[in-house]
Amino acid sequence: MERMGEVHGLARFRMFLELLDLLATTDEYELLSSPDFSPLLDAESLDIIQRSLTYLFQHFAEDLKLPNVAALAGMSESTFSRFFQKNTGNSFSDHIAKLRLWQACKLLADTEIPITDICFQVGYMNISNFNRAFLRKHKMTPSSYRKLSRQRLALRA
């Protein structure tokens, strides 16, 4: 992999293909996830998780509450919470935060909508919580993210 940085053109591409072949055929590897991370779901469980994820995706900007989504899934709060965590790898609140921040990033990069408006559009109730969550996740402020995305876009042009 280090030698790839020293060559250019087709030679670099050839080395990349050799690296992919080595990775695909090697017996020397370490699994990074546990078998529990990818559960085998029966049809009913798969339907519940798909309906729940679809609902969350469609309503992430609203004031979502675990009891309401659990009721939609036909489960108690604690049962749904464990079910959701086991099948998505995220807690309910973490999943919503990720959806909101994903949409915020998209809006910051693709639009000129003011940051305070984006904050409310993606479901945060105040700018302080939005800025804090964004900084925690992306290690930069929303305005820095927007500026960086504009710079990257300009470099591509």
Number of domain units in the chain: 2
pLDDT tens track for 89-129: 899 999 999 999 999 999 999 999 999 999 999 999 999 99
Q: Which residue has the higher pLDDT, 89 or 3?
A: 89
Which position has the higher pLDDT, 46 or 4? 46
Query: Is the pLDDT reported for residue 30 higher than 80?
Result: no
Domain harbouring 71, CATH code: 1.10.10
Mean pLDDT over 21-46 rounds to 74
In a domain, 85, yes or no: yes
Is position 7 within any domain? no
**Quick check: 7 and 15 in contact, CB under 8 A?**
yes
Task: State whether 86 and 54 are in the same domain.
Answer: yes
Mean per-residue pLDDT over the chain, rounded: 89
Same domain, 152 and 111: yes
- 29 inside domain: no
69 shares its domain with 111: no
Residue-range definition of the domain harbouring residue 112: 97-156
pLDDT of residue 6: 84
| Three-state secondary-structure class, residue 66 | helix
Q: What is the reported pLDDT for 38?
A: 55
pLDDT in tens, 64-82: 999 999 999 999 999 999 9
CB atoms within 10 A of CB 14: 12
Tell whether the model's pLDDT for residue 31 goes beyond 90. Answer: no
Mean pLDDT calculated for residue range 116-144: 96
Spatial contact of 112 and 101, defined as CB atoms under 8 Å apart: no
**CATH code for the domain of 133:** 1.10.10.60
The predicted structure's pLDDT at residue 76: 96
Q: How far is CA 142 from the centre of its chain?
A: 17
- Per-residue pLDDT averaged across 32-43, rounded? 63
Alpha-carbon distance values, 47 to 56, 57, 156 (Å): 14, 15, 41
Spatial distance between the Cα atoms of 110 and 38, rounded to a whole number of angstroms = 34
In angstroms, the CA 112 to CA 119 distance is 13
One domain for residues 101 and 90: no
Closest CA to 125 of 97, 86, 147, 94: 97
**Which residues lie closer than 8 Å to 85 by C-beta, 6 or more apart?**
91, 92
- pLDDT band for position 39 (cuts 50, 70, 90): low
pLDDT at 32 > cutoff 70: no
Residue type, 95: H
**Residue 57: both structure tokens together:** 């995706």
How much is the pLDDT for 1?
Answer: 74
